[in-house]
Structure 1
């Protein structure tokens, strides 16, 4: 149960982070905002490592044994922040949240498929139901906007 609660909190923090980062990006620029985001994150992580006294676990020999592809998470993280900084101000938060969720859902299914994990028809159908609901909601909003403009 604890992990479910932590996952929900993480989801809330991701959306909150995206909104805050996009505001920062509007004020100082997309890449500048991304730089500030990662600089503050680095400082915060450094403080945690110092207070927990865990710098000893971070040696060059340990880092050299990690495969190259494992470092791509940082590159992907930067791309996520940059893309979020671009899209959040352009489309409503609910649409960007759902679209990002759909991307995560189908990427998870793709990864599960290639790592041999179980993929049920229900997961696939659920993903398509979310897409259908998003499209339906988009059309309802579009009609409402057109009606309000008359």
Structure 2
């Protein structure tokens, strides 16, 4: 029961992190600065936890020459995923910012499993898993199409809809990178003999990557000036991200990868629905319809079929 509660909590926390980081982006004036702040805070927290758990942050330098180069790029995929969420949130709302990357994660997950990419175990594509993928796709199409119908009722411009398609595609690609990161970090944890240290190095590499981007682009730091003060909670997105990684580390050995994915996905859906419905953390309200909830349930059923059968 405790494992299920932890899975739901870290799942709910992920869309909350996106909402928080989006608010941070408004305050700092740049998605790159927001990502850098979030990743830096998360890296510091994971460094402390790694020192407590493993008593060391280091590993043999020979691993750089012995292991494939892709082993070290998981953090780059992670920072791309985080920055994408920050950009997608104000465009698509919380629910679509969750479901589009989930679709990408499912697609890439099936590809990784089928071909055994990143030294993962091969799990060939079967008819039942294809059925699950179709259900996921139908759920995503249902949730998005309902939004499009609502937009037409409110006489939204067609050009805006076509622009949203680009953002949705970007979300799918970001989700695919996130799934690749998970597979890479899984192998990295085996190489380092520590899943916590693997999470720390993934965050550290992501932080260094976004730092280089910030140095090159030199975005102007501009804290927004308004009568309202910037909320204290806009700085805790990185902590939530680090706790999400640690929650996964705790959950997978207890309930297995398949069930942990399903539990976290349920948390993701609950968190995103609450944020959209009530406009939590200063986010824009996007009232949820019954038809959207049904579409999301269809999507969850598809994930259950893929991960558990």
Judge same fold: TM > 0.5, yes or no.
Answer: yes
| Partner-residue secondary structure (3-state), 1:92 | helix
Indicate conservation of the 8 Å contact 1:102/1:130, yes or no: no
Aligned counterpart, 1:133:
142
Match of 2:123 among 92, 104, 117: 117
Per-residue CA distance 1:67-123 (angstroms, 9 max, x = gap): 321111111111112211211122211111111211112121222222231432322
Indicate conservation of the 8 Å contact 1:106/1:127, yes or no: no
Q: Which runs of 4+ in 1 moved over 6 A?
A: none
Aligned counterpart, 2:108:
107
Distance 1:145 1:39 in 2: 41
How many angstroms does 1:63 deviate by? 4.6
Question: Structure with the greater relative contact order (CA < 8 A, sep ≥ 6): 1 or 2?
Answer: 2
State the TM-score, normalizing by the size of structure 2: 0.42
106-115 vs 45-54, which moves further:
45-54
Q: CA RMSD in A?
A: 2.5
Listed as ranges, the gaps of 5+ residues in structure 2 are 117-121, 157-309
Listed as ranges, the gaps of 5+ residues in structure 1 are none
State the TM-score, normalizing by the size of structure 1: 0.80
How many angstroms does 1:52 deviate by? 2.9
| Partner-residue secondary structure (3-state), 1:55 | coil
Change over 3 Å in CA distance of 1:130–1:141 after alignment to 2: same
